[in-house]
Structure 1
Amino acid sequence: MTKRNKIIYWIATAWLSLGMLSTGIVQLLQLKEEKEMMAHLGYPLYFLTILGVWKILGVIAVLIPKFPLLKEWAYAGFFFAMSGAIFSHFAIGDGVKEYFGPTLLLILTVLSWYFRPENRKTISV
């Protein structure tokens, strides 16, 4: 792995982890704004707990050493959650402002996954 790729990986992974951890905590706390957003999107409030728990566990999986298969599942979960959030906002006609957070986290997910070191991959190519 080149030094450039390593830097890209750790920057993307750090920002991804911060974003997922902070949104996961906010979802677990079920702040008023989060409840309103879930209602606006048409989802039940218990989704906040599910998303919050899985985001925090996903961050742990991505950051701890080893367990490459678990990391793949975490990245897949992040991808599905953020692409689902983007589509949900699109489906109800939200403005561009609502796409920013999920789109940024989706891009960081792809960058972190793509630039991850060999020892964090399930199959070496």
Structure 2
Amino acid sequence: MTTKTTKIIYWIATLWLALGMLSTGIVQLLKMKEEVNLMTTLGYPSYLLTILGIWKILGVIAVLIPKFPLLKEWAYAGFFFTMTGAVISHLIVGDSAKNLFGPVLLLVLTTVSWYFRSADRRIN
């Protein structure tokens, strides 16, 4: 794959990841009724929404700003653990496939963005 193709794949995945994490982070911070109901259904306390929302927004900033490769690794790891946790939580309560779509999509975008990141965004 050419460097140009790699950059295009990286930026498409990263921008969609950032949009998804930022939007869900904001919704969680606002504690919208649907999010509170979802967390309750999954068996989690509603205060977890504030924690997740803050960390998602900070993770988006970390992934998008230049430099700080170690911080980016932590952000990607946080996204990965959050989304795998979401998928597992939905599976445990027996949610339908439509409820898995968002977390699985964000998990795929996290993996693709991390894999295709450039050398200056990696730990040497």
Q: CA RMSD in A?
A: 0.7
Aligned counterparts of 1:38 and 1:92: Cα–Cα separation in 2:
11
- 4+ residue segments displaced more than 2 Å: none
Aligned counterparts of 1:99 and 1:37: Cα–Cα separation in 2:
12
1:69 equivalent to 2:70? Answer yes
- 2:108 maps to amino acid: I
Deviations 1:59-115 (A, max 9, x none): 000000000000000000000000000000000111101000000000000000000
**Percent identical:** 71
The equivalent of 1:120 in structure 2 is 121
Q: What's the secondary structure of 2:9's corresponding residue?
A: helix
The equivalent of 2:47 in structure 1 is 46
Aligned counterparts of 1:122 and 1:88: Cα–Cα separation in 2:
31
- 1:37 maps to amino acid: L
- The alpha-carbon deviation at position 25 of structure 1 amounts to 0.1
Unaligned runs of 5+ in 1: none
- 1:69 maps to amino acid: L
Deviations 1:11-50 (A, max 9, x none): 0000000000000000000000000000000000010000
The equivalent of 1:98 in structure 2 is 99
Summarize the alignment of residues 14-25 of structure 1 with structure 2, pairs less than 5 Å apart. Answer: 14-25=15-26
Aligned counterparts of 1:23 and 1:94: Cα–Cα separation in 2:
19
- 2:35 maps to amino acid: E
Unaligned runs of 5+ in 2: none
Q: What's the secondary structure of 2:123's corresponding residue?
A: coil
1:84 equivalent to 2:85? Answer yes
Report how many aligned residue pairs link the two structures.
Answer: 123
Aligned counterparts of 2:8 and 2:77: Cα–Cα separation in 1:
22
- 2:86 maps to amino acid: A
Q: TM-score, normalised by structure 1?
A: 0.97
